[in-house]
A and B are shown apart, each in its own frame.
Chain A
Amino acid sequence: MKVAITSTGNSPDATLDPRFGRCAYFVIYDTQSRSTEFIPNPAREAEDGAGPEAVKLVASRNAKKIVSGEFGLKIKPLLDSLKIQMIVLKDPGKRVSEIIEMLNH
């Protein structure tokens, strides 16, 4: 299963980005093959609609869960209808590598 994590940088040492729509990078982690893919967020600087764009990107990679610091009001119904699970982590200091480790529980 694929999990998307919002990241502030393109390395596993980067920390979790607390924003979903305007995060710097998306990390797509595959729990089966244990591979990671870093995708820069194209909608990062968008004036509006960054959230729905981000949802499109994540959904196109078939991610079933998203780990981020916060989800906007427009995002929750969208993700609910796509049956993508939201995981809110209120810990901005968490590294991407640590989150991946937690996912491998």
Chain B
Amino acid sequence: MLYEEYEALRLCDYDLYNHHQASELMGVSRPTFTRIYASARQKIANAFVEGKPISIEGGKVYFDSDWYHCQSCGCYFNNPEKDIKVEACPLCGAATFNNFEYGDPENDEECRNVSRRRSCGRERRKRHQQS
């Protein structure tokens, strides 16, 4: 099983994102995401039925560096030097920043604006207040 297949399965069935949101988080198109996800399920089922072990390795993946959000100036920044700890915001120099989890529903407006129709499971963008 490839890393991206594991990630697709994790986002969909563990974090309970829908395919649309999960594809955005992984930076691939929705159809591509569905293909990765289907392949993951096929492999899992295969391992289950035939009693094979599951190993996760390889694939086209890139591990994002840590991102931070500064509360003083409102900017987002990453830390390209993993060994060095961030002590101040690189822009305004304030120490008031916190870890920014990309895809955290609290931080992610995209995810909040999508609702799911209960009847058919189809997703729909929420209209903004005026309507």
Contact = CB atoms under 8 A, between A and B. Distances in A.
Chain A interface size, as a band, is 20 to 34
A86 B66 CA distance: 11
By secondary structure, the A interface counts as mixed
B79 to A, nearest CB: 7
Q: What are the 10 tightest A-B residue pairs by CB atom distance, in nearest-first order?
A: A105-B93, A88-B76, A83-B80, A87-B77, A77-B62, A89-B75, A73-B27, A102-B92, A86-B78, A102-B91
B80 A99 contact: no
A22 interface: no
Contact of A99 (B27, B62, B81, B91): B91
A37 to B, nearest CB: 19
A71 to B, nearest CB: 9
Interface string A64-84: 010100000100110110111
Interface residues of B, number: 18
Given A84-B80, A105-B92, A90 B74 contact: yes
B105 interface: no
A97 interface: no
Given A73-B27, A91-B74, A80 B80 contact: yes
Contacts of B75: 67, 87-90
B82 to A, nearest CB: 10
Given A88-B77, A89-B75, A67 B91 contact: yes
18 contacts: A65-B90, A73-B27, A76-B64, A79-B80, A80-B80, A83-B80, A83-B81, A84-B80, A85-B80, A85-B90, A86-B77, A86-B80, A87-B76, A89-B74, A89-B75, A90-B74, A103-B91, A105-B94
Interface string B58-80: 00001011000000011111111
A100 B75 CA distance: 14
A98 to B, nearest CB: 10
A99 B79 CA distance: 19
A79 B64 CA distance: 11
Nearest to B75: A89
Which has the most chain B C-beta neighbours within 10 Å: A79, A83, A87? A87
